[in-house]
Structure 1
């Protein structure tokens, strides 16, 4: 069995895949009969009715310190269309705070420019071996995005292809939960802060050393062809949608991605090592009197290094809030 050794890094809290998925017209350039349908944006009527969406998804924590209440909310970076709009408890939490915080505010033009600049293939950079270049081209054709990834660094081409692998099952980065919340915050004039920088996120995905870049491409191509990797992602997003916190907390035992020292080191670098700085940023905002709705990837919320326990160590009272899914 091809185990998902080194689960796709985009699952571990990276938002580049949503950035590439926000231009569905370009991504659907090969619109053949067997291609997944391009994402259909919500209509004005659907957005107006969004205030009546009855069901919440995901996981929410209430954090309190100095008499002020903020919130942590776990997201996923690819989802189903019907999950993209928040339910009543998440809407109420966003309405109760002074600002929203995300890993990156992808509706900020400066953030977007910096991401896109860092994503471009370097002029004169090393070329991929013919075998890997051919695999990427074939995978892009199969994903119906042939030509639309040209010009990106090879590692990001593969990350994007992996992120699109479950579109035929209805899971699409275009419906990433962060995106809907960002649009909601912007539309209501809620100030947004980025907890990280584009450069920090890109450093987790791209490599200046040719050997490291090639290793990342090969790992991504293995994941792209792995049924086990897809099964892990499907279980992860189902856990999120159904608020199965116990199973999420046991992620390391079933993902097949933390079985070796190398796997664990990669997970630490791409998830756990980022949490203290994000927690410090949230705590600093709260300390200045600004209550915060902080929405970050679900894997940042679990385990001893997760944000709920990080905030508890910083003197916050932390309470998990079960969401009403009826």
Structure 2
């Protein structure tokens, strides 16, 4: 489960709460991603094409939408295409796993991400973590401030920066901005506790085992190929490839990893489906945008919504 330590888009934003603009001290680093300018936004929206996967879920005379996202992307990916924009426009509410623009969410996330001094790494793991932070152009002192597993997740996200990908260009942010510009409310389907409960260990043995796995993947160069294949499968809407993720990622091999993956993905799907169903039953047409891996397979959200009495159909996206 090394890669699937949640690729939440706000990880990088929260780094600045700990570090400030410390990146300038490094050389040979990829250029820092910047928010799109007004001109880039206008061009991006004008030229945007549909990416990802979209389903209709109809019940009681209303249609809601299930959209699979990815939490890192290229600049061009940050802008929803015409079919996705149309579905969002026809919805009453945008529902995200967590709303990264909600100040209350960010405050709680920052508190959760702070290091627990009672849980320590071995000296060898600590050295390896600090070396990876320096390699990723981040201050090694972050290891004294942030939870190690959150740093591991952040290093996973930033591993593909040199390939032109960045969490700043995850489509979740753009959808939130678009919904607010249209005057639509944005709802969180989960809590910070639910989102991070499986990511941050509450005992030292699990912490050290998880960090050893993450650092092995980073040091052995496994992360970048995994993330690039995942990103390209999402861009092309290859949900079957995403559904078979565990067969090709070489990252879910032990019984412990398999059990944790089930809790991280399938274990949260029922709660996500309940949240969407609750909003829909309350009279709202919902545009639910969640990580693409939550929408594939027999326990994915389309299957779960069908079991709740929805008529679920895949919406073709022009490529």
Give the shorter-chain TM-score range.
Answer: over 0.9
Aligned residues: 318
> Could you say what secondary structure the match of 1:118 adopts?
helix
CA distance in 1, matches of 2:190, 2:234: 23
Q: How does 1:26-37 map to 2 (within 5 A)?
A: 26=20, 29-30=23-24, 32-37=26-31
Per-residue deviation, residues 126-146 of structure 1 (Å, max 9, x unmatched):
332221111111111111111
Q: How does 1:260-271 map to 2 (within 5 A)?
A: 260-271=254-265
Query: Which shifted more, 215-224 or 308-317?
Result: 215-224
Within the candidate set 135, 148, 152, 2:128 is matched to: 135
2:302 counterpart residue number:
308
Per-residue deviation, residues 169-198 of structure 1 (Å, max 9, x unmatched):
112112112122122222332101101001
Within the candidate set 90, 99, 113, 1:96 is matched to: 90
CA shift for structure 1 position 72:
0.5
CA distance in 2, matches of 1:281, 1:86: 23
Q: How does 1:190-201 map to 2 (within 5 A)?
A: 190-201=184-195
CA shift for structure 1 position 16:
5.0
Query: Which shifted more, 66-75 or 257-266?
Result: 257-266
CA shift for structure 1 position 121:
1.3
CA distance in 2, matches of 1:113, 1:26: 16
CA distance in 1, matches of 2:83, 2:287: 12
CA shift for structure 1 position 27:
6.2
Please report the TM-score for the alignment, with normalisation by the length of structure 2. Answer: 0.93
Query: Which shifted more, 145-154 or 268-277?
Result: 145-154
CA RMSD of aligned residues (A): 2.1
CA distance in 2, matches of 1:185, 1:22: 26
2:236 counterpart residue number:
242
> Could you say what secondary structure the match of 1:9 adopts?
coil
1:110 counterpart residue number:
104
CA distance in 2, matches of 1:148, 1:99: 41
1:223 aligns with 2:213: no
> Could you say what secondary structure the match of 1:40 adopts?
coil
Per-residue deviation, residues 278-307 of structure 1 (Å, max 9, x unmatched):
101101111111010000001101111100
CA shift for structure 1 position 47:
2.4
1:3 counterpart residue number:
none
Within the candidate set 37, 50, 65, 1:71 is matched to: 65
2:165 counterpart residue number:
171
Per-residue deviation, residues 216-237 of structure 1 (Å, max 9, x unmatched):
2111111212333321221111
2:272 counterpart residue number:
278
2:5 counterpart residue number:
10
Per-residue deviation, residues 72-96 of structure 1 (Å, max 9, x unmatched):
0000111111111111111111100
> Could you say what secondary structure the match of 1:10 adopts?
coil
On the 8 A contact 2:131/2:140 being kept in 1, the answer is no
Structure 1: give runs of 5+ residues left out of the alignment: 1-5
Per-residue deviation, residues 42-73 of structure 1 (Å, max 9, x unmatched):
11222234442341111111111111011000
1:202 counterpart residue number:
196
CA spacing shift, 1:148–1:128, aligned 2, 3 Å: closer
CA spacing shift, 1:170–1:27, aligned 2, 3 Å: farther
On the 8 A contact 1:9/1:205 being kept in 2, the answer is no
Structure 2: give runs of 5+ residues left out of the alignment: none
Query: Which shifted more, 291-300 or 195-204?
Result: 195-204
CA distance in 1, matches of 2:12, 2:288: 18
On the 8 A contact 2:95/2:186 being kept in 1, the answer is yes
